[in-house]
Structure 1
Amino acid sequence: MRFFLRVILGALIIALMGMGLTPQAAYADFPGCRENAPKIANPEEPPPPGVLFRKVRIFNGLTDGLSGESDVLVIHNKINKISATPIVLPDLIKLEDGQEIAKKDVQTINGTGHVMMPGLIDDHIHILMSANQLTTELLNPEAKCQLYPNARKEAKNILMRGFTAVRDLGGPVFDLKAEIDRSDYWSLTEQERTNLEERTPGPRIYPSGATISQTSGHGDFGEPDARPRRFGGGNSYAEDLRATIIADGRDEVLTATRENLRLGASQIKLMAGGGVSSNYDPLDVVEYTADELKAAVDAASDWGTYVTVHVYNDKGIERAVNAGVKSIEHGHLMSEKTMKLLAKEGVWLSAQVFELQSESESALSGENLVKQNEVAKGTANLFNWAKKYNVNLAWGTDLLFQPDKTYLQNSFIPKLKTWLSNFEVLKLVTHDNAQLLALSGPRNPYPGELGVIKEGAYADLLLVDGNPLDDLEVLGDYKLAISPLIFNEEETDNKPEFTMINHFKVIMKDGKIYKNEISPDVTDDGAV
């Protein structure tokens, strides 16, 4: 009988996996919160199999300048053809895999006067933690069932700001990622496409899973009187949410790293130095021994991916680099000598524009706000030295705990022109950020090319009214609006809580259009 039950259970799991689902709930949420899953009245219609953009000028992510007027043909989720002369479609488009697409099924968009560019990439984000306040929601067990609905809404908002890919550096987003991936119609199997109700629009997510922290480290959100597990204590609430893992010693770090990899992490995030929002670690503190850091690097390397660490100070950065860490998050308090070390070793720097803030502007207060402003003072040196020594530079926002401020995500891009040229900024937030994503190697959940407009790359792109090479403000000029991506009237109270970037006229991710403010203007022969 027991054997028979195992067979039945195994068959059920295989069947669920065949439908693109795990044995978990179809929608991302915590146990006991399933009633918050979005209710969708009608299945989504399949997107057109092809989209032809006419007469766009292209910023390709790599070249300092725009192309002349060009046609761009997207087939399914890839850029199929780019041509300086008008693309003439045959009545039947034959693909390499033997499929055929009728010309009449190809949507045409008149891009005259618009710039096509790659979708934006944010390489340091925390979707769940940016969508929820720290004390009233994230660390409040009574608010647990609101965390995922808030994150789901923020994921849609991120996409509507033009960010088509993000690297999530701490938080329980594996299920949310899977839910979003079910929206990418052309990346699904035929069987998976039969159940289009189960979807949430959002960016591609490169998840880290729970951040890994030592006791007393930047990921330790336990109560002051809580005892470590080794001394008979239990998990903190943040650990129960899988927002963080407390791991001490080589063996525990190995287990924590492997646990995140087992769940689907594309890279591993450790806390290697003092932090701003945490209560127990001053900024000068160095976290994790060389042996502990090396344990994470060894485990990640065995899976073909890399370790990135949160750290601000010189000693922590040097220890991490010597242990084989491939990316430094923040680094605002490092010296010029340490920046030279990053350049010499080819280590990535994922930098943020941190600014001085008052208590009314910040999500933090007291000593945490003091630490925040101390870090912000290092922003200028960080970017100046990174450029001076040609360090592998990536960029992210690291917005946290202020869901009413996430609409400012795009506004940090124009601020980069203080240290970088407009071209360098655009290349940074597209092509360069994509190179760091690709460092995940075989753990890359989206192995196609991102961050560029070129034949064969993923069709993650924007049509911009204006030239961002001349004016970066076109990437950050926003208005607040009701999202066009709501599932039904019950999901919104009709308050303008979603950001709409005024100059983004088309937003496409994975070959699917999520925003189109350009009216169709097509003649019978397919030419515009």
Structure 2
Amino acid sequence: MTVRLVRTAVCTALALSCLSFASHAASGSTALHCGQLFDSRSGDVLGPHTVLIRDDRIAAVTAGHAEVPGTPGIDLSGHTCTPGWTDLHVHLGSQSSPDSYSEGFRLDDVDYAFRSVGYAKKTLLAGFTSVRDLGGEVSPHLRDAINQGLVDGPRIWAAGKSIATTGGHADPTNGYNSSLSHLLGPPGPTEGVINSVADARQAVRQRYKDGSDVIKITATGGVLSYARSGDAPQFRVDEIQAIVDTAKDYGYHVAAHAHGEEGMRRAVEAGVTSIEHGTYMSDEVMALMKRKGTWYVPTVYAGRFVADKAKIDGYFPDVVRPKAARIGELIQATAARAYKAGVKMAFGTDMGVGPHGDNAREFVYLVEAGVPAAVALQMATIRAAEVLGVDDQGVIAPGQRADIVAVKGNPLEDINRVLDVAFVMKDGVVYSQPGTSP
């Protein structure tokens, strides 16, 4: 069968564009010759394909190795091309270490900003062309710097400051001594701390003023905050409802950090877009999430990481260590149960808890939990795009953003392939490719 006939059959079956490559050949064009292609819509790995990039978009996709006159090509034979990956839960302004708690008193925002530049590049080179940064005042500024071409990094949806209750997981004064607390005064909605419906509305509006893209709330206690409880509910339903309703006014989705069952139930009933972590998710909460269409972002990597570090004396403060040991090891089992129950799932790592650039290990942990490799890849591509509410990424198809990642071999046969990314393109710009050093 000729290349032309193969192209026609495959394009018809997959609803891919069969535009003539010759009509797209121009300066700013590149042809990617992929040994295999991951179709995120079906979850299948297809045979050889050529993907024509024009500027920052995919112009055409065809089966086989098709030469495009006047257009340079990149040889990715022996590799599987996938849409660029999305990590829906990162914190690019920080990275866990035994010094993390004391650094908050010693470092300025500028220090964290400089660190974030390196973290962003590591994330991009690991294959993650988009991220949702769920909590950190640096992230909106890093997003803007990346968009302006000043630094290299993934496309960022930035939450800015997370919204919490007094003493909650994202209360920035947790762990301060009484003298310092009295000096600074109690944080309020401007600082992301609320205690009423009116406060909730103001906090969302402040995030809009600050330039956030998404709203993050801490619906329960957390593992790494300097507080005793890691799972107690920390908002009333009417407070979360006020956040969700006000967020809708600005076109925001709401992501809810939640470990405990009751806090999750309240968040889901109030209409949040996603539950993050979900450690103690019950069958009842899973059923509620399915009815409401709520997404689950497991962050198995973070659970595994903190459980391991809890075994090391001095890595975490004494108030944090038992939470890390107890909660961290449960998330992978919850992800397994949620997948079997049919809960909608998307990809996120909580990176910043662990070292940036190690994001792809989440794929490995998901597969260990019983999630098929194809589903895990869909979670980081087409499903992540659904969570973000965008329709121009997550699929290798004409008109989509030219975000493409390639790994050697077939990741559906060996998921560990994702740990060695050979090629990264974002918006049509190549950041790494076989035979070159990033």
Could you tell me the TM-score, scaled by structure 2's length? 0.85
Q: 1:393 pairs with 345, 352, 358, which one? A: 345
Number of residue equivalences: 401
Corresponding residue for 1:415?
365
Corresponding residue for 2:415?
472
Q: 1:360 pairs with 312, 317, 322, which one? A: 312
Corresponding residue for 2:39?
60
* 8 Å Cα contact 2:48-2:65 kept in structure 1: no
Letter in 1 for 2:208: L
Alpha-carbon displacement from aligned partner over 1:339-368 (angstroms, at most 9, x marks no partner): 111112111111111123234299524231
* 8 Å Cα contact 1:109-1:518 kept in structure 2: no
1:225: Cα distance to partner? 1.7
Corresponding residue for 1:375?
327
- SS of the residue corresponding to residue 470 of structure 1 reads coil
Q: 2:393 pairs with 450, 462, 476, which one? A: 450
- SS of the residue corresponding to residue 383 of structure 2 reads helix
Q: How does 1:241-252 map to 2 (within 5 A)?
A: 245-252=192-199
Distance in 2 of aligned mates of 1:234 and 1:363: 30
- SS of the residue corresponding to residue 78 of structure 2 reads coil
1:398: Cα distance to partner? 0.9
Distance in 1 of aligned mates of 2:119 and 2:352: 12
Distance in 2 of aligned mates of 1:245 and 1:263: 11
Q: Is 1:118 aligned to residue 87 of structure 2?
A: no
Corresponding residue for 1:130?
95
Distance in 2 of aligned mates of 1:245 and 1:368: 22
Distance in 2 of aligned mates of 1:413 and 1:448: 23
Q: 1:176 pairs with 142, 156, 164, which one? A: 142
- SS of the residue corresponding to residue 346 of structure 2 reads strand
Q: How does 1:32-51 map to 2 (within 5 A)?
A: 49-51=28-30
* 8 Å Cα contact 1:131-1:154 kept in structure 2: no
Distance in 1 of aligned mates of 2:418 and 2:34: 21
Seen in structure 2, the aligned counterparts of structure 1 residues 224 and 333 have a Cα distance that, compared at 3 Å, is farther
* 8 Å Cα contact 1:216-1:281 kept in structure 2: no
- SS of the residue corresponding to residue 367 of structure 1 reads coil
1:78: Cα distance to partner? 0.8
* 8 Å Cα contact 1:131-1:150 kept in structure 2: no
Q: How does 1:433-448 map to 2 (within 5 A)?
A: 433-438=384-389, 447=390
Letter in 1 for 2:29: G
Letter in 2 for 1:378: L
Seen in structure 2, the aligned counterparts of structure 1 residues 280 and 379 have a Cα distance that, compared at 3 Å, is closer
- Structure 1 gap segments, 5+ residues each: 1-46, 91-102, 184-198, 439-446, 477-500, 520-528
1:235: Cα distance to partner? 6.0
Corresponding residue for 2:50?
71
Alpha-carbon displacement from aligned partner over 1:123-171 (angstroms, at most 9, x marks no partner): 111110237852243x124454321110111101111111111110000
1:86: Cα distance to partner? 4.8
Q: Is 1:157 aligned to residue 122 of structure 2?
A: yes
Distance in 2 of aligned mates of 1:300 and 1:465: 42
Distance in 2 of aligned mates of 1:290 and 1:134: 32
* 8 Å Cα contact 1:272-1:309 kept in structure 2: yes
Seen in structure 2, the aligned counterparts of structure 1 residues 434 and 264 have a Cα distance that, compared at 3 Å, is same
Identity of aligned residues (%): 28
Corresponding residue for 1:507?
424
1:122: Cα distance to partner? 0.8
Letter in 2 for 1:368: V
Letter in 2 for 1:317: M
Letter in 2 for 1:70: H
Distance in 2 of aligned mates of 1:83 and 1:433: 25
- SS of the residue corresponding to residue 361 of structure 2 reads helix
Could you tell me the TM-score, scaled by structure 1's length? 0.71
* 8 Å Cα contact 2:382-2:395 kept in structure 1: yes
Distance in 2 of aligned mates of 1:514 and 1:407: 14
Corresponding residue for 1:260?
207
Q: 2:283 pairs with 333, 336, 339, which one? A: 336
Letter in 2 for 1:175: H
Seen in structure 2, the aligned counterparts of structure 1 residues 226 and 463 have a Cα distance that, compared at 3 Å, is same
Alpha-carbon displacement from aligned partner over 1:91-112 (angstroms, at most 9, x marks no partner): xxxxxxxxxxxx3xx3311222
Distance in 2 of aligned mates of 1:290 and 1:113: 52
1:518: Cα distance to partner? 4.8
* 8 Å Cα contact 1:359-1:365 kept in structure 2: no
Alpha-carbon displacement from aligned partner over 1:255-303 (angstroms, at most 9, x marks no partner): 1111112333222111111111122351342111122111111111111
Alpha-carbon displacement from aligned partner over 1:53-97 (angstroms, at most 9, x marks no partner): 12532002222332221211000111110112554546xxxxxxx
Distance in 2 of aligned mates of 1:362 and 1:117: 41
Alpha-carbon displacement from aligned partner over 1:453-490 (angstroms, at most 9, x marks no partner): 111111111122111111111112xxxxxxxxxxxxxx
* 8 Å Cα contact 1:215-1:228 kept in structure 2: no
- SS of the residue corresponding to residue 279 of structure 2 reads coil
* 8 Å Cα contact 2:424-2:431 kept in structure 1: yes
Corresponding residue for 1:275?
222
Q: 2:154 pairs with 192, 203, 222, which one? A: 203
Alpha-carbon displacement from aligned partner over 1:365-390 (angstroms, at most 9, x marks no partner): 42312111221242244112211221
Moved more, 298-307 or 74-83: 298-307
Letter in 2 for 1:179: A
Distance in 1 of aligned mates of 2:80 and 2:201: 47
- Structure 2 gap segments, 5+ residues each: 1-25
Distance in 2 of aligned mates of 1:233 and 1:362: 29
Alpha-carbon displacement from aligned partner over 1:492-518 (angstroms, at most 9, x marks no partner): xxxxxxxxx3xx222100110011225
Corresponding residue for 2:105?
140
Moved more, 220-229 or 109-118: 220-229
Distance in 2 of aligned mates of 1:337 and 1:117: 35
Distance in 1 of aligned mates of 2:379 and 2:246: 29
Q: Is 1:220 aligned to residue 161 of structure 2?
A: no
1:48: Cα distance to partner? 6.2
1:224: Cα distance to partner? 4.1
